[in-house]
Amino acid sequence: MMDVCPIHWPRATALASLRLHDFMSSIHEKLFGLRQDTVHKAFYTYLAAYKLLIIVFNFVPWLALILMD
């Protein structure tokens, strides 16, 4: 059975970023000295890469097992 946690993590972080948009941006601005638009680009790039990795490493092997049967 596939682990559910990696699938829900991007949803949780996306929802958190929608709700806590300004708070998260201000924290990253203070920590790393980044502008708000740079923080958003980095966050959504991370989210896209994470979702792609979930598809590649979870769904593709499952699909291969289904097709082999």
Can you give the pLDDT at residue 26? 87
CA Rg, the chain, in Å?
16
Give me 33's structure tokens: 């000295």
Whole-structure pTM value: 0.63
Identify the three-state secondary structure at position 2. coil
Can you give the pLDDT at residue 14? 75
Can you give the pLDDT at residue 58? 81
Mean per-residue pLDDT pooled into runs of 10, the chain (69 residues): 63 78 85 87 86 84 88
According to DSSP H, which parts of 1-69 are helical? 5-19, 21-32, 36-54, 60-68
Can you give the pLDDT at residue 47? 83
Can you give the pLDDT at residue 60? 86
